[in-house]
Every structure is written in C-alpha cells, then in structure tokens.
Amino acid sequence: MGTFQSTNRQALEAIKKLQEDGKIKGVGTNRNYLEALKHIAKHTTGNLRDLTKEQATQYLVDRSIQVGQSSLNMSRQVMQHLIGDKLPVIKTEKNEVLGSRAYTPEQVKVIAEHQNERNALATQLSYASGLRAHELLTLRTANEQPANTRENHELKFSQREGEIYTVVGNGGLIREVLIPSKLATKLEQYKLNEPVKITDRGI
C-alpha cells in the first residue's frame, strides 16, 4: 500500500487520464471518482496504472462490508474505466437505512433566510426548478442557449407559470427548465454583460 502522498498523486494522475479520454464530463463525477480512486490506491498493492481485474474484484468484495451500494457502484464504475474491462456487480453486505433527502418548503425558507441575498436566490432556484449546484452557473435564456433536440411532452411545464431557461447538465446535455417569474426577475438582476470563467471544485 502506498503513502498518503503517493496515493493522492496516483489518483490525480488517473483522473487526468480519464478526463483526457473523455470518461468524465461532470464536476460531481470528477469529485466522486477522485475520492474513490484515493481509497482504491490506498488499499491495493502496486500502482493504479497496473491495477488488474482480479485486484479490482477483490477490492469490491472487501469494500462491500464497509459501504453502501451507491459507493460500491461508484468504485466499480471508475475501476472499469481504469482497466478497460467489465467488473462483476458486487452487492453490499452493509445494512442501509435510507431516509428522504428532500427538503420541505418551510425548511428551504428557513435556509434562505439565513443566507446572503445571492446565495438565498441560488437556494430558491435550485429548489423551485430542480437544479444541481453546478448547473446554476450554466443558466441561460432559451434564446441564448437552445436545448438539445429532444421530444417535448405535451404536458411539459403545464399548469406552471414562469420563464423558460436552459442549463447544461450531466454529460453536457442542455435541457429546458422553468424558473418561476418572480425568481427569474431576480435572476436577471445578476446577469453579467460579459461571461466570466468559473473554477468549480477544481474543474
């Protein structure tokens, strides 16, 4: 097993290679893969570059008694990219008790009240329109950034009022979102004359 410094370096080098190969597109995926690779490098012998299918499978078996299914699946996915081969689906042996992660409108209101105006708007937009944090940075009007061609359902956004915007989601897909009119008005107040480059969690 490697030292802390060497395992971190191995993980970063592996992430860079996956990015160059087009295996990673989203910020969240990049972050999750990096953390998974750090743990894999720490608990397997040799270098990540030389990881074998047998080592990867054994890691999943050992890890299955420690983490839930989603974490186990994440490790399997990143190792599959790394070795270029399919790995068996290992089921977790850890009992999982999952509760709802959804916030109530009252909880969102309390959170927003304790934030500055800009962050409160981000919270309200995320809740009202189902946006991920990194997607907020990609918000554009539908005219400025048309959505990818997809079949539109007749009931899409029916019974709801607001302004149509688009965001760049996972995998680079541009999709339409509906922003309530009141929030859209607030959002336009923060619109910049020129775009600025943003580094979001290392990306």
Q: Distances in Å between the alpha carbon of 169 and those of 16, 130, 131?
A: 21, 11, 9
* 73 in the same domain as 120: no
Question: Does residue 197 lie in a domain region?
Answer: no
Q: Using the 3D structure, point to which of 48, 83, 118 is the last residue of a domain.
A: 83
Question: Does residue 159 lie in a domain region?
Answer: yes
Checking if the pLDDT of 194 tops 90, the result is no
- Structure confidence by residue, pLDDT tens digits, 61-90: 888 888 889 999 999 999 999 999 999 998
**Mean pLDDT of all residues belonging to the chain:** 85
What is the side-by-side order of every strand in the sheet holding 163-168? 140-141, 163-168, 174-179
Q: CA 66, 84, 21: angle at the middle one, nearest 5?
A: 105
Residue numbers of the domain that contains 35: 4-83
- Structure confidence by residue, pLDDT tens digits, 120-158: 999 999 999 988 888 898 999 989 999 886 655 455 665
Burial 128-156 (b: 16+ CB within 10 A, else e): bbebeebbbebbebeeeeebeeeeeeeee
Handedness of CA 80, 86, 88, 92 (dihedral sign): positive
| CB of 187 closer than 8 Å to CB of 122 | no
* 117 in the same domain as 46: no
Structure tokens of 177? 């979102």
* 115 in the same domain as 71: no
* 118 in the same domain as 61: no
